[in-house]
Amino acid sequence: MTDVQDRPEAPAADRRRAGELGPRELARWSWRQLTSMRTALVLLLLLALAAVPGSIIPQEGVDALKVSQWKADHPGLTPVYERLGLFSVYDSAWFSAIYLLLMVSLVGCIIPRTFHYVRAIRAEPPVAPRNLSRLPDHTSYATDASVEEVLDRARLVLGRRRYRLRLDQDDAVSAEKGYLREVGNLLFHLSVIVVLVGFAYGSVFGYQGGVIVMVDGPPFSNTAASYDDFDPGSGFGADDLDPFSFTVDDFDITWLTKGSGAGTAREFKAAMTYREGTDGEEKTYDLRVNHPLSIGNTDVFLIGHGYAPRITVRDGQGTVIYDGPTVFLPQDPSFLSFGVVKAAGGLSADGTKTQVGLEGLLYPTFYLADNGTAVRTPATLFPALGNPLISMSVYTGDLGLDDGVPQSVYLLDTTKATQVLKPDGKPLRLDLSEGETAQLPDGLGSVTFDGVQPWVRVQISQSPGKRVALAGVVLALIGLCGSLFLRPRRVWVRARRREGDEGDGEGDTMVEVALLDRSGGADLSDVLDEIVSELQKEPR
């Protein structure tokens, strides 16, 4: 009797439990699951759902202004959104993972299907079934023509109708058409990969950036340093920027003034002057929404507008320490706008160094709304500039302007500053109409509201893969039309001599004709009648 300890150990593959997969089988099973059409559809749905936050939440690569404003309005959610990458959805790791898995799944799914479609396109029509009368659309008739004459006539008729024929049968003719439907399926599947490749190529070798340009202000030169936000792809370099410059000479808005839509903008138009290169010809263009300006490989889009109050701040010595237009961000459709002014390097009346900060609102068309109480509420009557007024709080002290730490131009750091008060101890608030000046207490100086200058926000981008993506979309439409409107059909014609008392004296050859619509649901009775009618005609 053999000792148990002396028995040879079974191979590792034999020691696995029933149903347990080894590394090779597990890898094969995982690959089949990933490259199944079901997985591809699920990943495509996930990609669509993953893109939803990018269309709802402001994106840093599209509009950094709105991102800053959103962060200021939602300080509690901001850290969570930043950790999840929701301010840059399309560059996030989780979005890229879904995108790459979808690419792998589609490639692994489409390549086998491509070979399947190619085989189907090249295949001959199938042999005629033994019993054609079992098909849903069939008929039969008798004729005096011989079997050979009937089959030759069938080949001629079906050939004229552009059916592909099978010629290796003695008693029947098999024909089929609609092979381009398979080509349509193939084009549609391949087009999905083409579109994804186009978007991927554009994101790697393209860029997009945004900048606010003052109307009738200094020109914009297309350099990386000129952008407010600049988001290049990993394969894009600063040398790839097209050299050009432009100015916004005028900005015109057509407002609706009557009806329920009063106060809504109907049309925006920015009159621009641009120049390609340094010595190119100066040209003009009216930039409108969905009508970008194309300069070389670069597109310039109009995506927003607003107002920039021109504010002058003088210190206690009368020296101008701040002057010029300040971008205010719209807060609602009425264009009630918020902004800050940071003035440093000034001296108070007693010679003390001081910093002055202003924070408040711009009312484009100011009025006092009656809210049913004794105190009327300040509001703006219309988005256009009619009666502009700024209402701002004043801060002084350490605003962090000399710390060397970068600050947002749209936020005022008041953690170490002191709010300026009126003699009665209440917070001071400057309410200035256009052209008015207010003196600040304690010898801090004065603030003048000189006027309002419009600004426009433009998005500038290069998308080198857009033509590839467009070609993919066109292919998808062509393939989809082929899949929907081309109907694959099969026709069989069998002829045989009638035997014994089977005949009724009307002819010696029995002809059976049957049709099959492979896409299903089609009424082929008219087609069947036409084919039979042509078969029964005497050949010329």
Q: pLDDT, tens digit, for every residue of 59-76?
A: 876 677 778 778 878 888
Of 158, 164, 120, which is closest to residue 493 (Cα–Cα)?
Answer: 158
pLDDT of residue 326: 94
pLDDT of residue 1: 46
pLDDT of residue 155: 92
Stretch 9-31: mean pLDDT: 68
Spell out the residues 6+ positions from residue 525 whose beta carbon is closer than 8 angstroms to its own: 137
Euclidean distance between CA atoms 139 and 136, whole angstroms: 10
Q: Is 477 left (phi over 0), alpha (psi -120 to 50) or beta?
A: alpha
Instruction: Please return the burial class of 318, using the count of CB atoms within 10 Å of its CB with bins 0-12, 13-18 and 19+.
Output: exposed
pLDDT of residue 312: 95
Angle at 294 between CA 223 and CA 242, to 5 degrees: 30
pLDDT digits (tens, 9 = 90+) for 386-410: 899 999 999 998 888 877 677 778 8
Q: Which two tokens stand for residue 411?
A: 């936020």
Q: Which residue has the higher pLDDT, 539 or 354?
A: 354
pLDDT digits (tens, 9 = 90+) for 217-248: 999 999 999 998 888 888 888 888 999 999 99
Pairing of strands 137-143, 417-419: unpaired
Pairing of strands 509-517, 137-143: antiparallel
Q: Is 521 left (phi over 0), alpha (psi -120 to 50) or beta?
A: left
Q: How confident is the model at residue 503 (pLDDT cuts 50, 70, 90)?
A: very low
Are 227 and 210 a contacting pair, CB within 8 Å? yes
Give the residues across from 476 on adjacent strands: none
Spell out the residues 6+ positions from residue 93 whose beta carbon is closer than 8 angstroms to its own: 85
Euclidean distance between CA atoms 339 and 357, whole angstroms: 11
Pairing of strands 489-497, 172-177: antiparallel
pLDDT of residue 28: 85
Q: To the nearest 10°, report the CA torsion of 375, 378, 379, 384.
A: 140
Q: What is the pTM of this model?
A: 0.70
Euclidean distance between CA atoms 348 and 346, whole angstroms: 7
| CA 505 to mean position of chain CA atoms | 72
Euclidean distance between CA atoms 174 and 194, whole angstroms: 37
Spell out the residues 6+ positions from residue 306 whose beta carbon is closer than 8 angstroms to its own: 327, 328, 329, 330, 335, 337, 454, 455, 457
Q: To the nearest 10°, report the CA torsion of 227, 233, 239, 244.
A: -40
Place of tokens 């264009």: 335
The architecture (CATH level 2) of 125-177+487-536 comes to 2-Layer Sandwich (3.30)
pLDDT of residue 21: 66
Long-range contacts of 17-20 (CB under 8 A, 24+ apart): none
How many residues does this entry show for the chain? Answer: 540
Euclidean distance between CA atoms 197 and 469, whole angstroms: 7
pLDDT digits (tens, 9 = 90+) for 26-54: 888 888 888 887 888 899 899 889 989 88
Of 409, 495, 492, 500, which is closest to residue 455 (Cα–Cα)?
Answer: 409
* End-to-end Cα separation, the chain, in angstroms: 94
Are 519 and 488 a contacting pair, CB within 8 Å? yes
pLDDT of residue 41: 84
pLDDT exceeds cutoff 70 at 487:
yes
Q: How confident is the model at residue 288 (pLDDT cuts 50, 70, 90)?
A: very high
Place of tokens 């009025």: 367
Spell out the residues 6+ positions from residue 139 whose beta carbon is closer than 8 angstroms to its own: 512, 513, 514, 528, 532
Are 153 and 493 a contacting pair, CB within 8 Å? no
Q: Which residue has the higher pLDDT, 257 or 294?
A: 294
What are phi and psi for residue 523, nearest 5 degrees? -95, 110
pLDDT digits (tens, 9 = 90+) for 147-177: 999 999 999 999 999 999 998 888 899 999 8
Of 183, 192, 235, 227, which is closest to residue 208 (Cα–Cα)?
Answer: 227
Q: Which two tokens stand for residue 346?
A: 């000034």
Are 50 and 84 a contacting pair, CB within 8 Å? no
